[in-house]
Amino acid sequence: MIADLFSLLKINSERDDAKVTPETPFGPGPVAALEKFLSLAQRDGYQTTNVDNYAGHFTYGDDLPDDAEEIGIFAHMDVVPAGTGWESDPYSPEIRDGKIYARGASDDKGPTMACYYGLKILKELNVPLTKKIRFIAGTDEESGWGDMDYYFKHVGLPEPDLGFSPDAEFPIINGEKGNITEYIHFSGENTGAVHLHSFIGGLRENMVPESATAVISGDIEQIQAKFDAFVANYADKNLKFESKSAADGQLTVTLHGRSAHGAMPEKGVNGATYLAKFLDEIGVVSPFTKIAGQVLIEDHAGEKLGVAFEDTKMGALSMNAGVFKFSDQQDDNTIALNFRYPQGIDEDKIYDVLNSLSGVESVTKSAHGHTPHYVPMEDPLVETLLSVYEKQTGLKGHEQIIGGGTFGRLLKRGVAFGAMFPGDVDTMHQANEFIPVDVLLRASAIYAEAIYELAK
């Protein structure tokens, strides 16, 4: 299992739009990982299907009647960008202190292989089942879910009747908040003693920006002393600052914070918003830096933004300011805001608030969004998975509703199930991502019994 996992982790399967072709819809990396995963399934005797390199699947139980119910297992081979701050090569997996370190170790290649081997146990034991199993691997889960849109339109099969995604945590995720990214647009005009030429921060909308870089000119004397004073006010954030002068009098400044999953922005330190605040304080006058550095900074619940909302069951809205792009040579500069919202509010209400912000030229929305999703506790799917979890761990199961989005919501009767256990350290979307080896083994045992109990 670990050898197979390493073969996947060695593949850099970040989305790369610069290398998109008809044969590589999200770049070559995700396709390479999908092909490797399907090759493992072929090796183990499954018949596989690759749907134009968007997604693929293999099935177990082809000898069952055509009208047999089908369980879908949804995983993904793509990963978020590795970013910086790693103690080892993110695509040279290694085991240290019982933990496998690599990008994708916990999101989602590690859990995928744990679940794959759970099914492999049943296959090798030749356990009789009455439901088919379709194991589906996507390649664009971390971006726009274009893989699954294409897959369901072109695979020529009905949706599975029920299913789960091994892409979250135990005991279960039976509710997920809505998910939408909205973009606030600005002109490139800015005035003040310090002029902002450009500003870039963030790698993905669902990641807290680890760093941001700006090019400035004007009254920039004593810049290091000014930043030292700025950092002293935020000693608990462990901010790091770099600067580089150019012959034309411009200065490039970079601020490093700490990345985290965009569904839990409070776990990171948004380097872009802190850099914007610094620029705002030293003399840049721009709606872009004012909103980023005064409104968005540490506004994880959208209170200063004016979109805060909380539902008694699904919890509070969260907001991650994920990608920042600015140039004084362009009239269309953007900040991408990713919202995870509960029932009771929707993307249009958020849009209306953003449109009313002073200094914002316009607002647009991403093409892909998801409304809130919930599967009741009394559904046999939820009851079965929780009973297996309780039997295997001795811990009491309970429902969970999260801001993160998983492929579990693709089905009306779909949930996320594992592979993180309560108390585990969550390193998804962060530098030095890892999964403990013993978690993989425990999860495989749970997945084997869970698939059996659902399909026996």
Q: Which residues are catalytic?
A: 78, 141
Q: What is the pLDDT of residue 247?
A: 76
Q: Taking residues 92-121, what's their average pLDDT?
A: 98
Q: In angstroms, how far is the first alpha carbon of the chain from the final one?
A: 24
Q: Are residues 427 and 352 in the same domain?
A: no
Q: What is the overall mean pLDDT for the chain?
A: 96
- How many distinct helices (H) and strands (E) make up the chain? 10, 24
Q: Taking residues 56-61, what's their average pLDDT?
A: 97
Q: What is the pLDDT of residue 246?
A: 79
Q: Are residues 391 and 271 in the same domain?
A: no
Q: Taking residues 21-42, what's their average pLDDT?
A: 98
% residues pLDDT > 70 (the chain)? 100
Q: Are residues 199 and 308 in the same domain?
A: yes
Q: What is the pLDDT of residue 151?
A: 98
The CATH number linked to 293 is 3.30.70.360
Which two tokens mark 111? 């859990």
Question: What's the CA gap between 288 and 184, in Å, rounded?
Answer: 9
Q: For 115-125, how does the pLDDT look when each residue is reduced to its tens digit (9 = 90+)?
A: 999 999 999 99
DSSP string, 266-278: GGSB-HHHHHHHH
Q: Of 314, 344, 365, which closes a domain?
A: 365
Confidence of residue 367 (pLDDT cuts 50, 70, 90): confident
Question: What's the CA gap between 446 and 388, in Å, rounded?
Answer: 7
Q: What is the pLDDT of residue 368?
A: 84
Confidence of residue 207 (pLDDT cuts 50, 70, 90): very high
Count up the domains in the chain and report the number.
2
Confidence of residue 149 (pLDDT cuts 50, 70, 90): very high
Q: What is the pLDDT of residue 144?
A: 85
Question: What's the CA gap between 323 and 66, in Å, rounded?
Answer: 47
User: Contact, 177 vs 299, CB < 8 A?
Assistant: no
Q: Which residues contact 23 (CB under 8 A, 6 or more apart)?
A: 31, 53
Q: Are residues 191 and 171 in the same domain?
A: no
% residues pLDDT > 90 (the chain)? 95
The CATH number linked to 438 is 3.40.630.10
Q: What is the pLDDT of residue 299?
A: 98
Judged against a pLDDT cut of 90, whether residue 444 lies above it is answered with yes
Q: Are residues 189 and 136 in the same domain?
A: no
Domain with 200, as residue range(s), is: 181-365
Q: Taking residues 132-154, what's their average pLDDT?
A: 96
Question: What's the CA gap between 80 and 156, in Å, rounded?
Answer: 29
Which two tokens mark 286? 């721009």
Q: Are residues 117 and 218 in the same domain?
A: no
Burial class (CB in 10 A: 0-12, 13-18, 19+), 409: buried
Q: Are residues 347 and 380 in the same domain?
A: no
Q: Are residues 185 and 155 in the same domain?
A: no
Q: Taking residues 220-230, what's their average pLDDT?
A: 91
Which two tokens mark 32? 């390479």
Q: What is the pLDDT of residue 248?
A: 86
Question: What's the CA gap between 307 and 347, in Å, rounded?
Answer: 10
Number of C-beta neighbours around residue 369 at 10 A: 18
Q: Are residues 307 and 433 in the same domain?
A: no
Q: Taking residues 267-271, what's their average pLDDT?
A: 96
Q: Are residues 378 and 349 in the same domain?
A: no
Q: Are residues 330 and 291 in the same domain?
A: yes
Q: Of 315, 342, 365, which closes a domain?
A: 365
Is the backbone peptide bond immediately before 419 cis, with ω within 30 degrees of 0?
yes
User: Contact, 330 vs 340, CB < 8 A?
Assistant: no
User: Contact, 124 vs 1, CB < 8 A?
Assistant: no
User: Contact, 85 vs 257, CB < 8 A?
Assistant: no
Q: Of 365, 400, 433, which closes a domain?
A: 365
Q: What is the pLDDT of residue 188?
A: 93
Q: Are residues 197 and 172 in the same domain?
A: no
Q: For 279-308, how does the pLDDT look when each residue is reduced to its tens digit (9 = 90+)?
A: 999 999 999 999 999 999 999 999 999 999
Judged against a pLDDT cut of 80, whether residue 419 lies above it is answered with yes
Confidence of residue 180 (pLDDT cuts 50, 70, 90): very high
Question: What's the CA gap between 298 and 208, in Å, rounded?
Answer: 11
- Report the sign of the C-alpha dihedral through residues 427, 421, 423, 342, in that order: positive
